[in-house]
Every structure is written in C-alpha cells, then in structure tokens.
C-alpha cells in the first residue's frame, strides 16, 4: 500500500523567521491526521504549504494522483494543481466566509465545484446540491438562500458540503470548529466524524483544540516554533505525552 | 478636411491600437490591453469603439454608426459627425454599402460580408467581473480556462427565475477556448456572431481592452443541457414593416397602455418599407 500523501522536509521561512521547518510525514488512505500547537507554531503555514496556497522554500509534497501515481504537487503545473484542488482535494477554511461565495445561493455554492469540473446539467447539479445539503443537515428549503442568511454553524456545514460534493480523497481543515459555540461544535464534529468514516476520507486537521483531535484524529503531530516536537497515535500522545511542551499543552486543557 | 490628423488620433496611437487589434485577431476572444487615449467624449459614450474605428478607417471607407440599432439617436449622430469632421470619410445609414460599422449594443439584421468590419463599443470587457472582482484572479482564470464560475451565474439565474434570465451581454465561448463578453447586445444577436463573414472588433475605452473575432469564428453561447440557450425576442411582428424575424423595441405611444413593436434596426425597417412591406400600424404612421 502506498501513502496518499508523503511530505518530505517541508520548510517555509518568512525572511529570517521560520514558518515551519523540516516537516516530514506520511498520510495513509482513510487516515485522519491532527496537527496541534499554539498560535504561531506554524501549523497553518504547514497546511497552506501542503495545500498549495503557499510556495514552500524546500521539501516535497507527494500526492498519489489517480492517473500518474505519486507526483510532487509543488513542482506540478498550475492547471494540474488547480484541477487537483477542485477534484481530489478539499480545503475547509476556519472562517466559512473565506471558503464560500457569500453572494451566491447555497445551491450555487455546492454546485460550483461540479460545474468547474464540467457538469452542465442543471437538474443533476441541483439534485446533488440538495442531497449534500441534506447530508450536512441543512434543510433543502434553504437551497436558494444566500449564505449571508445562514448562522455561523450552518455556514461552516455549507462550506463542508461545497468541498465534499466532488468526492475528494483528501481534505485539509484549518480550525473547522473555530469561532463556533460548543453545542454547535459538537454537532459539527459529529457530522465530520460521520462523513470521514462513511466516505473513507483522509484528512489533515489543524486545530488548537485538543478535544477536536481526540474525537477525529487517528494520529497527531504537535508543533512548536515551526518544528514537530512529538508525533504518534492520538491517544498515546494525549494520554502519555513525552515532550515537555506536549505535557504543558495537555495539562492546560480546562476541566469543566 | 479640418486641422485634425486623419481620424483624430495621431499616427503612433493608431499604430499602437492596430497592433492590439492584430493581436486580438490572432487570439480570438483574448482581451488585449492597450493604452486607451482620452477622447473628446465621456467614457461610456463609445470611446473604445471610436478609437478602434479611428485606427481601422481609411479615407476610402464608408462609415455607418448604430446606437441600439438606430442610426438617428444621439450617440450614433454625434460619432458619425465626429468622423465626418476629423476623417472626412463618407458616411451612410445603409448597412450593405458601409465598409466600417461602429455599433452600440446591436448587430445589424442584414447579414454582413467579408468586405465589412463591425466595431463594438464595450463598457465592461471582462465577463467574469461581477463574479470575481480581482483582475489578477480573472486573468489567471482565463489563462487556465477555469470557467466553472460562469456557469454558477447561469445556475443562479435559473434558481431564482426558473430560466436563464440574462438577456443581454450573454457570455459566449470563442473557438472552445476563451469565454468572452459580447458587449451588451441582446442575446437574440448572439447566434449572428458565430461564423460571421465580417471582422468583429471590440473596444473598451475606460477598461483599456481590445478583443476581436476573425471572420468565420465559432462562437457558442454558454448554457445547460436541460436549459439550452434561446435567442429570445418580443413575440410580435414589427408594427411598421411587418418583419417577424427582427429584434423589436417596445415603444409606449400614449399614457393609456398603448404600445407598438418596431424593428430596433432602423435601416432594416426602412429598407423593408421601401420594398413595400407594411405592418399593422405602418399606414397610420405614414399619415401622421
């Protein structure tokens, strides 16, 4: 079995400062990887480098493409990368507003990726939009409403529907539960967990919320100052942290 | 002849515009940036079209100017006068005898020939403008043929109105490559662009873009399989000349709900009436 994504020595510097340094790992099909760390630890930089939003200074991001097998996504051409970005990859932004078209209806938002890969049948596009709204628990009567009329949690769920409609194999998530209140977070996590299991998705989730990775992630990387300080199975890292920083992180979680 | 250089613009400027036109013809549908000049008329009055016409005209040309199909409205009259004065070229209202036709928002009903050039005035050349505000991003989308967003607009139309409600400036795909804004012509005129014998040039003065379609270029209006493109017009014959196949203007004639439909192309209507065709109100109109 080959890994779905193979990251080798990924480095990004902002001038003299380090964004992330020498990060390497393999992500296997169906696996969910969590990346945790405090603000400024380089986890978002790492995610953006992997997803092709930022150009890294060194390293390789190999992806198991459907047609050509393992291919470096950093050196591949822009059209190829964009194609990947709207078929096999998905990116869920922390703020739903960054990932949605706010002046386009919910149905149009979900249908955009389908139309971008060549769907030209209105009825079919609308049917799959309706189907996906249902899957993320948005009432299908809201299909023609704009995201501005949605609550924060609904916007986030709509963003997820919009990303998953083309059946991607790898989802990048940047703080998917950030800025939502806890009950909405719980529902969203439940939904995500269901979708990940049901579709066999691989995912990389960046978060500072340890509860999120506890629920969703199979494996965990802990980052500090741009470096990965500890990695391993989620339960193992959270229950028996080895690195001093991880110990601090785990012990800082508030108990209710 | 006046003291102006031929057709108002200096020779270097015309050369620069001709280069842009040639590039546009070489890459049908691609928007070529050019250094648009200040013209002695406000933006929105056809400064782009006038510059393209000025660079295209020769002293032997005969110019026709159309404004919304009509030869006798302000825009058409003033631009025609402008070139009469600065270029001293012959002008005409007859479509068939004109060699350069500058048009605002219409394509003449009479088929054009290989000896003619059609110059469009374009307000906003970028078909993706209202979907994606960033020029950097739209250029990238054109370069990468990333046109999914255009269909999102059509999807929104159907979702909201039950049909594709875009009635003018209906987006087209040129030779299977570039998505192009055909300028605000009614979508009734879209099919005429495809395979046209005449050269079609598009000038946007404020936006500083020129694009072009060489003769016999394939132009396809975007649509969905289950909502195909339809070249719509008012469902009536012309009240003056009885034409059933021309694009019609609706004219309110009194304040009691009276209305009539007349050809938007005045030259076409005039020619038909001269040939003896009479519409429902054609007679009374003559008497008045």
Contacts of residue B87, Cβ cutoff 8 Å, sequence gap at least 6: B6, B7, B8, B54, B57, B59, B63
The count of CB pairs under 8 A between chains A and B is 52
Which residues does residue B211 pair with via DSSP β-bridges, in sequence order? B202
Mind listing the pLDDT tens digit for each residue in B225-269? 999 999 989 999 999 999 999 999 999 999 999 999 999 999 999
Mind listing the pLDDT tens digit for each residue in A59-86? 999 999 988 889 999 999 988 898 898 8
Measured CA to CA, the distance from residue B195 to residue A8 in angstroms comes to 53
Is B102 in contact with B63 (CB distance < 8 Å)? yes
Give the pLDDT of residue B284. Answer: 61
Give me B176's structure tokens.
């299977």
Count the neighbouring beta carbons within 10 Å of the beta carbon of residue A24.
13
Count the neighbouring beta carbons within 10 Å of the beta carbon of residue B105.
21
- DSSP states of A160-207: HHHHHTT--SEEEEESTTTTS-HHHHHHHHHHHHHHHHHHT-EEEEEE
Give catalytic residue positions of B: 29, 238, 241, 263, 269
Give the pLDDT of residue B285. Answer: 54
Interface of B with A in 196-255 (CB under 8 A): 223-227
Count the neighbouring beta carbons within 10 Å of the beta carbon of residue B3.
5
Touching check for B157 and chain A: CB below 8 Å?
no
Give the pLDDT of residue B2. Answer: 53
Identify the residue among B130, B156, B165 best suited for mutation to test binding to A, counting A beta carbons within 10 A and taking the highest: B156
Question: Which of A163, A189, A29, A28 has its CA nearest to residue A90?
Answer: A163
Q: Which residues of chain A have pLDDT under 50?
A: none
Residue among A78, A108, A121 minimizing CB distance to B226: A121
Kindly compute the dihedral angle of the four CA atoms of residues B169, B170, B173, B174, in this order, to the nearest 10 degrees.
-40
Mind listing the pLDDT tens digit for each residue in A152-178? 989 999 999 999 999 899 999 998 888
Chain A partners within 8 Å of B151 (Cβ): 115, 120
Q: Which residues of chain B have pLDDT under 50?
A: 1, 287-288
Q: What is the mean pLDDT of chain A?
A: 91
Chain A partners within 8 Å of B146 (Cβ): 82, 116
Is B48 in contact with B24 (CB distance < 8 Å)? no
Contacts of residue A145, Cβ cutoff 8 Å, sequence gap at least 6: A105, A106
Q: Which phi and psi angles does A53 have, rounded to 5°?
A: -80, -25
Q: At what angle do helices B148-161 and A106-116 cross, to 10 degrees?
A: 140
HEC profile of A231-247: EEEHHHHHHCCCCHHHH
The distance of A127 to chain B (nearest Cα, Å) reads 12
Is the Cβ pair B224, A121 closer than 8 Å? yes
The distance of B189 to chain A (nearest Cα, Å) reads 23
Give the pLDDT of residue A241. Answer: 93
The distance of A87 to chain B (nearest Cα, Å) reads 13
Measured CA to CA, the distance from residue A215 to residue A223 in angstroms comes to 19
Give the pLDDT of residue B100. Answer: 97
ipTM (interface pTM) = 0.85
Measured CA to CA, the distance from residue A199 to residue A164 in angstroms comes to 9
Is the Cβ pair B155, A115 closer than 8 Å? yes
Question: Which of B117, B10, B104 has its CA nearest to residue B57?
Answer: B117
Interface of B with A in 129-148 (CB under 8 A): 144-146, 148
């Amino acid at each position: 079995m080959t890994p779905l994504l193979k990251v080798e020595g990924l480095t990004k510097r902002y001038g003299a400062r380090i964004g992330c340094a020498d990060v390497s790992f393999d992500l296997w099909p169906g696996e969910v990887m969590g990346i945790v760390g405090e603000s400024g630890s380089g986890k978002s930089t790492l995610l953006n480098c992997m997803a092709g939003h930022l150009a890294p200074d060194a390293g390789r991001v190999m992806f198991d493409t459907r047609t050509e097998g393992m291919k470096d996504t950093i050196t591949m051409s822009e059209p190829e990368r964009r194609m990947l970005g709207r078929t096999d990859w998905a990116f869920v932004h922390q703020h739903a507003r960054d990932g949605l078209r706010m002046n386009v209806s919910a149905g149009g938002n979900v249908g955009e990726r389908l139309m971008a890969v060549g769907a030209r049948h209105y009825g079919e596009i609308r049917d799959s939009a309706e189907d996906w709204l249902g899957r993320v628990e948005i009432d299908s009567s809201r299909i023609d409403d704009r995201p501005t009329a949605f609550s924060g949690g609904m916007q986030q769920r709509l963003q997820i529907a919009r990303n998953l409609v083309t059946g991607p194999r790898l989802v990048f998530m940047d703080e998917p539960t950030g800025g939502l209140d806890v009950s909405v977070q719980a529902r969203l996590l439940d939904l995500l967990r269901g979708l990940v299991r049901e579709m066999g998705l691989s995912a990389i989730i960046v978060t500072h919320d340890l509860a999120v990775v506890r629920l969703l992630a199979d494996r965990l990387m802990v980052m500090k100052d741009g470096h990965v300080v500890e990695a391993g199975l989620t339960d193992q890292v959270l229950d028996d942290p080895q690195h001093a920083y991880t110990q601090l992180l785990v012990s800082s979680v508030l108990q209710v | 002849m006046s003291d102006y250089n031929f057709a108002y613009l200096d020779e270097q400027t015309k050369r620069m515009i001709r280069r842009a036109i040639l590039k546009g013809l070489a890459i049908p549908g691609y928007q070529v940036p050019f250094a648009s000049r200040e013209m002695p008329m406000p933006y929105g009055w056809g400064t782009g079209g006038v510059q393209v016409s000025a660079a295209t005209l020769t002293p032997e040309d005969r110019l026709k100017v159309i404004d919304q199909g009509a030869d006798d409205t302000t825009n058409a009259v003033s631009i025609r006068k402008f070139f009469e004065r600065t270029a001293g070229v012959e002008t005409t209202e007859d479509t068939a005898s004109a060699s350069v036709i500058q048009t605002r928002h219409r394509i003449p009903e009479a088929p054009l020939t290989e000896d003619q050039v059609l110059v469009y005035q374009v307000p906003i050349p970028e078909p993706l403008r209202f979907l994606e505000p960033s020029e950097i991003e739209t250029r990238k989308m054109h370069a990468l043929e990333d046109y999914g967003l255009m269909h999102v607009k059509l999807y929104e139309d159907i979702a909201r109105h039950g049909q594709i409600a875009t009635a003018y400036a209906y987006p087209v795909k040129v030779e299977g490559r570039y998505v192009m804004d055909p300028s605000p012509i009614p979508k009734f005129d879209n099919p005429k662009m495809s395979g046209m014998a005449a050269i079609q040039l598009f000038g946007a003065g404020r936006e500083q873009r020129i694009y072009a379609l060489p003769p016999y270029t394939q132009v396809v209006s975007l649509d969905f399989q289950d909502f195909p493109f339809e070249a719509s017009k008012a469902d009536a014959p012309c009240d003056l000349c009885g034409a059933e196949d021309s694009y019609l203007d609706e004219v309110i004639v009194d304040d009691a709900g009276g209305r009539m439909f007349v050809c938007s192309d005045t030259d076409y209507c005039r020619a038909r009436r001269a040939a003896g065709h009479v519409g429902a109100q054609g007679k009374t109109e003559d008497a008045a």
